[in-house]
Amino acid sequence: MGCDGFRRIRAWHRLTAFTVASCLLALPARGDIIDRVLALAGGDLILLSDVQTVTIFGLLPDAPDETDALTWLIDRTLTLAEVNRFIVAEPEAGVIDADLADVRGRFSTPEEFQRALAAVGMTETELARVVRDNRRIDSYLRQRFGSALQPTEAALARYYRDYVDRYSVGEVAASFDRVRAQVQRDLQEERRQALIADWVDRLRLRATVIRLDEDE
Amino acid sequence: MVLVDRSPGPTGRRPWAARCLPILVLGGWLSYAPGAVADVRDYLGLPIVEVNLDFDGTEPPPGSDELVVTRVGTPLSMADVRESIWHLFSLARFSDIRVDASPRGGGVALQYELTPVRIVDRLAFRGDLKLARRRLREAIAERYGARPRFDQMADVAEVLRGVYSDEGYLKARIATSPIDRGGGLTTLDLEVSAGERARLATLTIDGPVLQPEPVIFRRLNLRIGEYYAREALERRLADYADNLRDRGYFEVVVGHAIAGRSDGRQIDLTLTIDPGPRVSVEFEGDPLPSEIRETLVPVAQESSVDEDLLEDSSRRLLDYLWRLGFPRAVVNYRRTAADLELRIVFHVDQGPLVRVGRIEIEGYETFPRSVLEDRLGVASGDPFVEASFAVGVAAMAEAYREAGYSDARVEMQVVEEPGPSGSGPIAHFRITVTEGPRQRVRSISIEGAPKSVSTRLEGAITAGAGEAYERSIALADRDAILQELLSLGYESASVRVDASFDPDTHQVDLIYVIEAGAQILVEHVLIAGQFRVSAATIRRELTLVPGQPLSQDRLAESRRRLSALGLFRRIRITDISHGSDTRRDVLVAVEEAPATTLGYGGGFEVGTRLRQGRAAGGFAVERIEFAPRGFFEIGRRNLWGKNRSVDLFVRASLRSRNEREVDDGSGEFGLNEYRVLGTFREPRAFGSAAELLVSTFLEQSIRSSFSLRQRGVRVEWRRPLGSTASLSGGYTFNKDRLFDEQFNAEEERLIDRLFPGIALSTFSGTFIRDRRDDPFEPTRGELLSVDTGLAGRTIGSEVGFAKMLMHAFLYRRLGGSSSVVYATGLRVGLAAGFPRTAKVTDDAGNFVLASNGQPLETVVQDLPASERFFAGGSTTVRGFALDRLGDESTIDQNGFPQGGNGLIIINNELRFPVWGNVGAVAFLDVGNVFETVSTMELGRLRGGAGFGLRYRSPIGPIRIDLGFKLDRRDFGSGTREGLTALHVSIGQAF
């Protein structure tokens, strides 16, 4: 193929590339996502801004990423629906105020706190409601799963053996008799958490839960 | 493609396009990459300059624009964004919603990207199915409904694999692929490869068998080499278990398990059959009726010998004996097990029968003894049932407490003595009432009520200071207050009534303690789903208004009013809470019904008809007539977005005309009776609660003595007055023409002769008050209606008259809740014609001249035939055939009714059930038609009595009535009236 032929081909290449580039530039650039649906849990929507509320305000103390926050919100939504079916004692106003003050304290200035609220589309009252519902959930779970069975001595001893490191100071393990009360509390709490987890699993099975974040 | 040539160019450099490729790809990626999650603070507060909704190519749901509250010109707020997402999602039309923001000219442009819910509405099966498509569809529908969601696609395949496995296709393969047809609809393509059906390779029974294994296999129709089918096998196993239960093996357990071999062609089947012990239930001691033994000891029915069941059975037997008056009865049971036998023996010792002797009541003043005895509910001679006495004594005490005697005590003493020889002991009762002082209400107060509503709540209290304290009234007031609070939007309100008694003054302070909770107010009312109906039409019917309380009453009322429009197939009103404790949005989602309605039908009518009999000298003879009829109706609703409608109704009957006499057998058969009616309806006309109806009609009807053709227009204004009454007024202009008259020529009314065709211009008014419990088959309530009409020559009528017809019906159940209903009714009609002069004409229509050569004139004062009253028939006086009630002044000598200006009808009917849906009635009707109002006399009323049957069918009660005349008269021709009249119809007589 001669030079002219090459030139002709290159001209075609340039023209094609120019056309493609022009078309791409002419297409409207997609904007920034400011909110979206992330999940549907038992008929309730969970939005991106809900997840951001959890992370920005530190409502889940373990500081998880957004995926964990969404999982927590799904479980919370299902649990709250169950809690609302029963009469659960309202937390005292002082408790909610203290929780809110704690949340506020995570921001350097009140203005920063207000800006954070605006960013997730919430008011202080609505945030207080979230805090209140968290307390109500805790209260319900304590009420429902608080009276775990007293573990047997054998179970306590086995738990102590399995987690003896927890009861060690440096290299020295505390004797079972010395930490027996603590072992009992830990084992009971572990069993309680297992019961709650099992209950929430069953809630999830009963309800329709759709996670849209998993589509991507 | 030019961009794929990556060979170096002559200079060793890659071609230009290849060098540009990364840039182009990057550019393209930047353009198409999913939007990044932004720091929304960059956008917050910026003015919104554009809002777009992208429905992914599908039709936007109507009203969806209204659901987006981020409006152009307002600053961007995330609360609005969240609220908009909630609103849109509540339509249940989208599976995903994203909101993108981008800077645009100093502001922000918003784009809502809405992903429609994808529905699998079609299933397409392909491949080697082996099973019927219907079976597969049913299995999917049973699990996921007729239209599974797109995201359930994988589960659908799993369900089908289960179906195949149950039929022995252990290696069935199912591949699914969706075919998007647009509009959110998807066809799910299911490619099936059923594979080979497995056969039974081995048969094993696990458990202690009662019969040889081959016998059981034969019984279960199981053979090696046969195909496996789970459902059929389970059915046969269940039959086998039932058979064992019938033989006393109540605890039998059966089941089966399969193990497929690796080739998928063979199955090893293991049956589990544990018959358990054979149970026998026996009774010893005092005998019990067999049906009581079976009912109260349901071991066989429950197929269980559980300890709880046996204890419950003992308790039930004991209760049964106590209720019969054996208070010392003893029942126990024992179990005896040996090998595979279990014997349960109930021992019954009923003890002596104790009867109630004297009942003495003392210390009562307020109530008469009969009231207290009624409350006690036990009488001397009854078997002594301790529980019944306890309930009765408590009821007596409650009667006093309800009447304000809160300290009242009722005590009972029992003295038992031996009865006469051969009978059991007698228990005598002494009931002592200590009434104590009557409490009066000293004060009434409400605590905890929100200030803004306290006055309204006080209005709900009916108890008053100074009145006797009655607990039931206080509780009713509490409920009324709660109802008020709920209707004011306090959805979590609770109310309790505290009564504090002052023992010194015997007075009560009533305090209604309210915990109102938050008042829920309506923030937005969102309307969605309407295509043709305007949002304003829907809004007009809603009683929920932004800023007003959200109450369940208003919600229900709004739904009722929208339903009453008849424009919607489905209405969903939901309150949406998003973040606020006190404010909710109300979403009204409607699905419109088709705008065009079409109706048609056919049937036939069988009835008696009056005809001139030539052989009878022109005298009226009744003939049974069969007339096929049909109707057609077409309507268009929701004209111009409002709830206006237009309807066209056409009805026609094939009947013979009156002009031919029946004896010649040549009646002109054709569409001689018809009705064409066009109606325009405007509800809430001119912004009022009234509706306006404009109709035009063309009608031809065959009446007893004449045929009538009418055409005209009518305008009617109808306004409801509360829920049970209505008032209407109207104007009608019509032209009537009489033809085929059968009147005796000598007796024909002057007006009918002079005005066979007549124009009438009439103003009318109607009042209706309907308080019946059921319009088709009322059992209680009243109906009153008054119709009035006024026609005058000054308003365009050829003759003038005034007319009134009043109906009053009353329905009562006899004996409280009895199903016997007494119905009575009174109908009175009064009419008077205004005199006018008219020129007399001969039969040819020429004026008859007087002796002075001028046309002869006469005064006409009658009403035209179409406006006169007629009576007799299935809904008036049932001893008479249709229109044949009257006397010599209103029935001509040939027996044809002429109608009159006065009418009285009085009906009495007793309706009672007979068996199932069949009922019967006995009736006595009296009434008459009078020539003029001045000749109306009660002494001239004629009666008919009779009986009838009713069958309650889905289309209303089917009625057969046979009426007998109480007095028969001779017509002028000497013919005597028939004794009876038979009526067959649908619906009650009145």
Mutation choice for B interface testing from A37, A40, A80 by most B CBs within 10 A: A37
| More confident call, B74 vs A11 | B74
Q: How confident is the model at residue B580 (pLDDT cuts 50, 70, 90)?
A: low
| A chain contacts of residue B86, beta-carbon cutoff 8 Å | 45
Is the pLDDT assigned to residue A171 strictly greater than 60?
yes
Name chain A contacts of B3, Cβ cutoff 8 Å. Answer: 13, 16-17
Chain A residues close to B24, C-beta within 8 Å? 17, 20-21, 24
Which of B18-32, B156-170, B522-536 is the least confident region? B18-32
What pLDDT was estimated at residue A148?
56
What domain range is A189 assigned to? 37-147+182-215
CATH number at residue A188: 1.10.4030.10
Give A126 to chain B, closest Cα distance, Å. 5
How far is B17 from A9, CA to CA, in rounded Å? 10
> Taking 60 as the threshold, does the pLDDT of residue B967 lie above it?
yes
The pLDDT score that the predictor gives to residue B270 is 92
- pLDDT computed for residue A28 by the predictor: 45
Distances (CA, A) of A204 to A72, A88, A199: 12, 22, 9
How large is the average pLDDT for residues B755-783? 92
What is the reported pLDDT for B4?
30
Q: Which long-range contacts (CB under 8 A, 24 or more apart) does A97-102 make?
A: A99/A131, A99/A134, A99/A135, A100/A124, A100/A127, A100/A128, A100/A131
Residue B24 is predicted with a pLDDT of 44
Residue B29 has pLDDT above 60, yes or no: no
Contact B44 A118 (CB under 8 A): yes
In a domain, A134, yes or no: yes
Tell me what pLDDT residue B722 has.
83
> Would you place residue B37 in the very low, low, confident or very high pLDDT band (cuts 50, 70, 90)?
low
Helices (H) and strands (E) in chain B, counts: 17, 39
Distance of CA B595 to the CA centre of its chain: 23
Whether the CB-CB separation of B325 and B355 falls below 8 Å is answered with yes
By the 10 Å C-beta count (0-12 exposed, 13-18 middle, 19+ buried), A113 is classed as: buried
Contact B43 A34 (CB under 8 A): yes
Tell me what pLDDT residue A7 has.
59
Task: Tell me whether residues B579 and A17 touch, CB distance under 8 A.
Answer: no
Percentage above 70 pLDDT, chain B: 93
CB contact under 8 A, B15 and A10: yes
Q: Which of A25, A36, A215 to mutate to test the interface with B (most CBs of B within 10 A)?
A: A36
Residues of chain B with C-beta less than 8 angstroms from the C-beta of A45: 85-86, 89
Bridge partner residues of B44 (DSSP): none
Identify the CATH number of the domain defined by range B119-193.
3.10.20.310
Q: Are B79 and A122 inside 8 Å of each other by CB?
A: yes
What's the mean pLDDT in B678-701? Answer: 90
**Residues B336-354: what's their mean pLDDT?**
89
* Cα B798 from Cα B751, distance rounded (Å): 11
Average pLDDT over residues B912-923: 91
Q: How confident is the model at residue A170 (pLDDT cuts 50, 70, 90)?
A: confident
Pair of tokens at residue B643: 């709830």
Confidence band for B816, pLDDT divided at 50, 70 and 90: low
Of B3, B15, B97, the CB nearest to A36: B97
Q: Is B97–A10 a contact, with Cβ atoms under 8 angstroms apart?
A: no
The yes-or-no verdict on residue B616 having pLDDT over 80 is no
Query: Between A29, A37, A126, which is nearest B85 by CB?
Result: A37
pLDDT at A20: 52
Pick the range with the lowest mean pLDDT from A71-85, A202-216, B848-862.
A202-216
Superfamily of domain B199-274: membrane protein fhac (3.10.20.310)
> CA nearest B573: which of B591, B595, B594?
B591
**Rounded CA separation B180/B184 (Å):** 8
- Tell me the angle at which helices A124-145 and A176-206 cross, rounded to the nearest 10 degrees: 110
Per-residue pLDDT at A216 exceeds 70 = no
Strands B341-349 and B330-338: antiparallel
Chain A positions in Cβ-Cβ contact with residue B77 (cut-off 8 Å): 118, 121
- Alpha-carbon span B872 to B969, nearest angstrom: 15
How close B62 gets to chain A, by Cα (Å)? 22
What one-character-per-residue DSSP string does B93-148 give? Answer: -EEEEEEEEEEETTEEEEEEEEEEPPEEEEEEEEEE--S-HHHHHHHHHHHH-SS-
How far apart, in whole angstroms, are the C-alpha atoms of residue B275 and residue B667? 81
Considering A60-64, B598-602, B899-903, the range whose residues carry the highest mean pLDDT is: B899-903
Answer yes or no: do B81 and A34 touch at CB < 8 A: yes
Structure tokens at B113: 């990207």
- Residue B195's pLDDT is 92
Structure confidence by residue, pLDDT tens digits, B449-464:
888 888 889 999 998 8
Which residues of A fall within a CB distance of 8 Å from B572?
none
Residue of A nearest to B517 (CA): A90
Question: Tell me, what's the pLDDT at B310?
Answer: 92
CA distance linking residue B314 with residue B308, whole number of Å: 10
Q: Do B82 and A20 touch (CB under 8 A)?
A: no
Count of domains observed in chain A: 1
- Best residue in A34, A126, A209, A212 to probe B by mutation, most B CBs within 10 Å? A34
Place of tokens 């210390």: B363
Q: State the nearest Cα–Cα gap between A112 and chain B, in angstroms.
A: 11
User: Encoding tokens for residue B158?
Assistant: 């799993």
**Contact of B575 with B550, CB cutoff 8 Å:** yes
Identify the residue with better confidence: B252 or B810.
Answer: B810
Interval B109-122 mean pLDDT = 86
CB contact under 8 A, B2 and A16: yes
Contact B85 A17 (CB under 8 A): no
* pLDDT surpassing 80 at residue B344: yes
Choice between B667 and B578, residue whose per-residue pLDDT is larger? B578
Question: Could you tell me the fold of the domain covering B278-349?
Answer: Ubiquitin-like (UB roll) (3.10.20)
Q: Give the A-side interface with B, CB within 8 Å.
A: 6, 9-10, 12-14, 16-17, 20-21, 24-25, 27, 29-37, 45, 47-49, 115, 118-123, 125-126, 129, 210, 212, 216
For residues B834 and B854, give the distance between their C-alpha atoms in angstroms, rounded to a whole number: 24
CB spacing of B95 vs A210 below 8 angstroms:
yes
A198 assigned to some structural domain: yes
pLDDT at B684: 80
User: In which band, very low, low, confident or very high, does the pLDDT at B427 lie, cut at 50, 70 and 90?
Assistant: very high
Q: In the block, which residue shows the tokens 């230009």?
A: B16
- When mean pLDDT is compared across A30-44, B30-44, B74-88, B798-812, the lowest value belongs to B30-44
The band of B56, judged by pLDDT with boundaries at 50, 70 and 90, is confident
Pick the CATH number of B40-116 from 3.30.70.100, 3.10.20.310, 1.10.3720.10, 3.40.50.300: 3.10.20.310
Q: What is the mean pLDDT of residues A90-111?
A: 91
Question: Considering only CA atoms, which of A84, A79, A87 is closest in space to residue A198?
Answer: A79
Please say if the pLDDT value at position B927 is more than 90.
yes
**DSSP at B197:** P
Q: Are A121 and B79 a contacting pair at CB < 8 A?
A: yes
Structure tokens at B841: 């004409």
- Closest CA of chain A from B79, distance in Å: 4
Q: What is the pLDDT of residue A173?
A: 81
Beta-carbon neighbour count of residue A165 at 10 Å? Answer: 7
Q: Which chain A residues are within 8 Å of B112, Cβ to Cβ?
A: none
Query: Does residue B966 carry a pLDDT above 80?
Result: yes
The per-residue pLDDT for range B642-654, each reduced to its tens digit, is: 778 899 999 999 9
Tokens of B656: 């013979």
Write down the pLDDT at residue B713.
Answer: 97
Beta-carbon contacts of B698 under 8 Å, excluding residues fewer than 6 positions away, are: B674, B675, B676, B710, B711
Residues of B in contact with A47 (CB under 8 A): 82, 85
Q: Identify the closest residue of chain B to A21 by CA–CA distance.
A: B24
CA neighbor of B96 nearest in space, from A66, A34, A208, A47: A47
Task: Report if residue A140 sits inside a domain.
Answer: yes
The domain segmentation of chain B, as residue ranges, is 2-32, 40-116, 119-193, 199-274, 278-349, 355-434, 442-515, 521-593, 594-702, 739-832+866-986
| Interval B488-510 mean pLDDT | 88
* Residues B735 and B713: beta-carbon distance below 8 Å: no
Q: Which residue has the higher pLDDT, B492 or B415?
A: B415
Mutation site for A-interface testing, chosen from B98, B110, B151, B520 by largest number of A Cβ within 10 Å? B98
User: H or E element: which one contains B657?
Assistant: none
Among the ranges A10-14, A205-209, B36-40, B367-371, which has the highest mean pLDDT value? B367-371
Element of type H or E holding B754:
helix B750-754
pLDDT at B300 over 90: no
Q: Do B78 and A29 touch (CB under 8 A)?
A: no
Q: What is the average pLDDT across B22-32?
A: 44
The CA distance from B191 to the nearest CA of chain A, in Å, is 25
Interchain pair A49, B82: CB under 8 A: yes
Question: Contact B880/B872 with Cβ under 8 angstroms?
Answer: yes
Is the pLDDT reported for residue B36 higher than 70? no
Looking at residue B888, its pLDDT comes to: 86
CATH architecture label of B739-832+866-986:
Beta Barrel (2.40)
Average the pLDDT over B71-96 and give the result: 88
pLDDT beyond 70 at B557? yes
Taking a C-beta distance cutoff of 8 angstroms, is the pair B802, B829 a contact?
A: no
* H-helix segments, B380-445: 386-402
Q: Which residues of B touch A20 (CB under 8 A)?
A: 24, 28
Q: What is the largest CA-CA distance in chain A?
A: 96
Confidence of residue A66 (pLDDT cuts 50, 70, 90): confident
Strands B426-434 and B355-362 turn out to be parallel
Instruction: State the ipTM, two decimals.
Output: 0.81
The amino acid that residue B454 corresponds to is: S
- Is residue B683's pLDDT more than 80? yes
The pLDDT-based confidence of A3 (bands split at 50, 70, 90) is very low
- Alpha carbon of B173: minimum distance to chain A alpha carbons (Å): 26
Using CB atoms, pick whichever of B36, B43, B99 lies closest to residue A36: B99
Euclidean distance between the first and the last CA atom of chain A, given in angstroms as a whole number: 48
Q: Do the strands B185-193 and B330-338 form a parallel or antiparallel pair, or are they unpaired?
A: unpaired
Architecture of domain B355-434: Roll (3.10)
- CATH topology agreement for domains B199-274 and B739-832+866-986: no
The count of residues in chain A is: 216
Chain A residue closest in CA terms to B18? A13
Count Cβ–Cβ pairs < 8 Å, chain A vs chain B.
Answer: 139
SS3 readout for chain A: CCHHHHHHHHHHHHHHHHHHHHHHHHCCCCCEEEEEEEEEECCEEEEHHHHHHHHHCCCCCCCCCHHHHHHHHHHHHHHHHHHCCCCCCCCCHHHHHHHHHHHHCCCCCHHHHHHHHHHCCCCHHHHHHHHHHHHHHHHHHHHHHCCCCCCCHHHHHHHHHHCHHHHEECCEECCHHHHHHHHHHHHHHHHHHHHHHHHHHHHHHHCCEEECHHHC
Hey, are the CB atoms on A13 and B80 less than 8 Å from each other? no
The CATH class given to the B442-515 domain equals alpha beta
Q: Are B36 and A32 in contact (CB under 8 A)?
A: yes
Nearest to A12 among B2, B37, B581 (CB): B2
pLDDT at residue B284 greater than cutoff 90: yes
In chain A, what residues touch B19 (CB-CB under 8 Å)?
none
For residue A145, pLDDT beyond 90: no
Top pLDDT among B927 and B974 is at: B927
Cβ contacts (< 8 Å) between A210 and chain B: which residues? 95, 151
Nearest CA in chain A to B35: A32
From the candidate CATH numbers 3.10.20.30, 3.40.50.720, 3.40.630.30, 3.10.20.310, the one assigned to the domain spanning B521-593: 3.10.20.310
Token reading at B983: 């009526």
Average pLDDT, chain B: 86
Does B37 contact A33 at a Cβ distance shorter than 8 Å?
yes
Nearest CA in chain A to B28: A24
In one-letter notation, the amino acid at residue B515 is E
- B43 to chain A: closest CA residue: A34
Question: Which chain B residues touch A118 with a CB distance below 8 Å?
Answer: 41, 44, 77-78
- Summarize the confidence of residues A42-57 as an average pLDDT: 90
